[in-house]
Structure 1
Amino acid sequence: MGETIVKARNPRTGQEDYEFAASSRDEIAAQAARLRDAQPAWEALGPDGRATILMRFADAMEAATQQIATTLTIDTGRGAVSWIEVQGAIGNIRRWASRGPDLFASLDRGPKASATPGVEIVTDYSAFPLFGAIAPWNFPVILSHIDAVPALMAGCAALVKPSEITPRFVEPMRDVLAQVPELPLAYVMGGADVGQALIEEVDYVCFTGSTATGRKVAEAAARKLIPANLELGGKDPMIITASADPEWAAGVALRSSIVATGQACQSIERIYVDSDIAEPFIDALVAGAEKVDITHPDPNAGHIGPFIFPPQAAKVQEQIDDAVAKGAEVRSGGTVEDLDGGQYLRPTILTGVTPDMLVMREETFGPVLPVTIYDEIENAIAQANDTEYGLSAAILAGSLEEAASLASRLDAGAISLQDGALTSMVGDAANQSRGTSGLGPSRMGDTGMTRFLREQAHIRQTGQPLPIDAYREGQAG
């Protein structure tokens, strides 16, 4: 059989102007075997040795920023955000290279006394040999490496499948890897069948993407009996209390919802505002939305670009239309525009929304802000928690102290206080997604690396082993 050619679409033009050969099953197996062969020597370098090489990886990536960001801009239709994403990925490498050796030094290896008399325990740590990642299309560079880098720091080899929707950055990244041949990191390319083949080859898999696909990954990992970390969808709420400044809150809410065209799992997708400040807040929110420009016709001007994936644009429009049909009012935006082949949506503010609307139940992944007015904070908390998701949330109040007093009552893995979507900027705050937003240890904080270490117990007898006569019948009592 011949190779499978996959075509990628340019989100600004709508044209399929790039193609690549999907990795075959044999190629994936060969890459996995090569990485497995390289992994023992990589782990044997020790934390400091691996950190040094990861720093070289970051330096080589930084030198190639222009090439990586250029391909990323074509893939995503985003200019400034693409540069920020590449810099974020480089920063993530350097952070783990700096933090990793200290983490290894802090591991409790023992010996420590057991509860069993005469026995002490020493703990040895070793990495899962081969780590695998299946990455999404919304932030292709950073999310292809966000788990792979701490896995490498832990001592794993890493096999990564970027999204077939946004594949262009892999070419310059392979050039970067050629400058760091000691690094056991490789990419395999293709669709769902390549992801399935990757799972069959690795010892630990991380997946970032939709909840529906995450369930399939979890099932495949369970059949192979390997750990699976899932970072899935969200429907993040923001509560704004009566003491918050309405204009300030509107600015925070707008940015937290529409950056990257809202195509981020941590985007704010539901807003609950106290009735005492609802009118000035909504007025400020609409005014702010109307000042936001799309990046068309000039890709170097404006704030938000096109949808990356056409089915996503259709889904967002379906949610808006459903809300309007059920009585919601569109205060700004509201219609996906097809401009020179790209699909754009200006920030869309909806009021008069109700919990039964799709826009309040399903992940949107677009620049849509449905606003609900509440009278009692108890009601706001109940509505914010009325979701199958539990990724993150936000609270804006008149003071940090007031916001903090409410945080633990929200059923989500991370709560941004006096800001929104902070998990996109803060990588050292451990949190665990709840509900259908994820499964497994946190990718943030120190657990982002330690989850890739296996514990082996060395159980040491310091006294005399029991003789067989200890088990002779009639000896008990």
Structure 2
Amino acid sequence: MSNSYSVRNPRTGKVDYWITPPTPEQLNIQCSRLREAQIDWQHKGLEWRIEVLQAWKQALLSQKDDLIQALVADTGRWSVSVMEFDSLIFSIDRWCRLAPELLSVEEEKVTAIPFINMKNECVPYSLVGVISPWNFPLLLSAIDTIPALLAGCAVVVKPSEFTPRFIQPLSEAIASVPQLQHILAYFEGTGDTGAAL
């Protein structure tokens, strides 16, 4: 999997971009790090995670031009790429607004047996893997990522190898939010990378 993979530009038809998928060992190391960081991420609480995602939204807005240019190069679509970026920003705000209600702790309930009480509790997965398609590469890579992060999960994402150019500016936005960079990772890769995840 360590060989480069060529990517064709949909507007020109020419190969003008290459990705180098990580090895299975590199994936295992990174996934282990994400799982370790998830424990602290979960225990910091929902309000803190909302603040971090709002900081990520600001970082994304500062990378807007680069992200849209990368999406246009990946898909050949200008207006749809702008809409895709705007939809991502809206999605972050929407999930941050809904999360407190969706993740609220339920009151303990009395059952028919007097000495048995019942309480539901949401427990996040330590690591959620997202393998996303090519048609809306930015939005569809984040559509499950955002609620998973808010729920307290760490997330690893492998977008389609046909539309990888947006990963670099997106990763820069992630890296600019120190609290996020250890619990969210995007990997370039092929189908073999997704299978290894």
Q: Shorter-chain-normalised TM-score: which range?
A: over 0.9
Amino acid at match of 2:172: D
Aligned to 1:32: 31
Distance in 1 of aligned mates of 2:112 and 2:130: 39
| Per-residue deviation, 1:134 | 0.5
Partner of residue 162 from structure 2, selected from 144, 165, 171 = 165
Partner of residue 138 from structure 1, selected from 132, 135, 139 = 135
After the TM superposition, which segments of 4 or more aligned residues of structure 1 sit over 6 Å from their partners? none
Aligned to 1:19: 18
Partner of residue 176 from structure 2, selected from 173, 176, 179 = 179
Aligned to 1:57: 56
Distance in 2 of aligned mates of 1:151 and 1:161: 15
Task: Give the secondary-structure state (helix, strand or coil) at the position aligned to 1:124.
Answer: coil
Aligned positions of 1:269-280 closer than 5 A: none
Percent identity over the alignment? 39
Gaps of 5+ in 1: 199-477
Aligned positions of 1:15-414 closer than 5 A: 15-105=14-104, 107-108=105-106, 110-183=107-180, 184-198=183-197
**Count of residue correspondences:** 195
Distance in 1 of aligned mates of 2:97 and 2:109: 29
For the 8 Å contact 2:132–2:157, the answer to whether it is kept is yes
Of Structure 1 and Structure 2, the greater helix share is in: 2
| Per-residue deviation, 1:104 | 2.4
Amino acid at match of 1:135: S
Task: Give the secondary-structure state (helix, strand or coil) at the position aligned to 2:135.
Answer: coil
| Per-residue deviation, 1:127 | 0.6
Task: Give the secondary-structure state (helix, strand or coil) at the position aligned to 1:19.
Answer: strand
For the 8 Å contact 2:103–2:122, the answer to whether it is kept is no
For the 8 Å contact 1:38–1:157, the answer to whether it is kept is yes
Distance in 2 of aligned mates of 1:98 and 1:119: 34
| Per-residue deviation, 1:119 | 1.3
For the 8 Å contact 1:9–1:18, the answer to whether it is kept is yes
Gaps of 5+ in 2: none
Deviations 1:28-63 (A, max 9, x none): 111101101100111111110000000000111011
Deviations 1:188-246 (A, max 9, x none): 22111111111xxxxxxxxxxxxxxxxxxxxxxxxxxxxxxxxxxxxxxxxxxxxxxxx
Which one has more relative contact order, counting CA pairs under 8 Å at least 6 apart? Answer: 2
Distance in 2 of aligned mates of 1:151 and 1:167: 22
TM-score when scaled to structure 1?
Answer: 0.40
| Per-residue deviation, 1:15 | 0.4
| Per-residue deviation, 1:135 | 0.2
TM-score when scaled to structure 2?
Answer: 0.95
Distance in 2 of aligned mates of 1:91 and 1:20: 29
Distance in 2 of aligned mates of 1:116 and 1:23: 54
Deviations 1:154-189 (A, max 9, x none): 000000000000000001011101111211100122
Structure of larger gyration radius: 1
